[in-house]
Amino acid sequence: MSKPNIADRFPKAIEMEPGDYYWCACGKSANQPFCNGSHKGSGISPKQVKIEEKMTVYWCMCKHSKNGAFCDGTHKTM
């Protein structure tokens, strides 16, 4: 498995509607923070995220969060 690419050094805040989303964990997607299939062959798979109610989500863009798809501030140490 390779290391993920850093898509950005700041989280991306998006107001999300309820539903299932696939967060790009590899950092290669041109549709950040969501998967577009660019991970193929990287050994890194997207992570399914279920949003239960309308809310603002701070998506991890550095791809190193210990909180999965959600920012935990790790980008501050990179």
Q: pLDDT digit string (tens) for 45-77?
A: 999 999 999 999 999 999 999 999 999 999 999
Q: Report the predicted TM-score, pTM, of the whole model to 2 decimal places.
A: 0.93
- Using only C-alpha atoms, the chain has a radius of gyration, in whole angstroms, of 12
Distance in angstroms (rounded) separating the CA atoms of residues 22 and 39: 12
* CB half-sphere exposure, 59, CA atoms < 13 A: 25
- Dist CA 75 CA 9 (whole Å): 5
The span from the CA of 40 to the CA of 47, in Å, is 14
pLDDT at position 2 is: 82
For CA atoms 50, 4, 36, 59, give the dihedral sign. Answer: positive
Domain ranges of the chain: 12-77
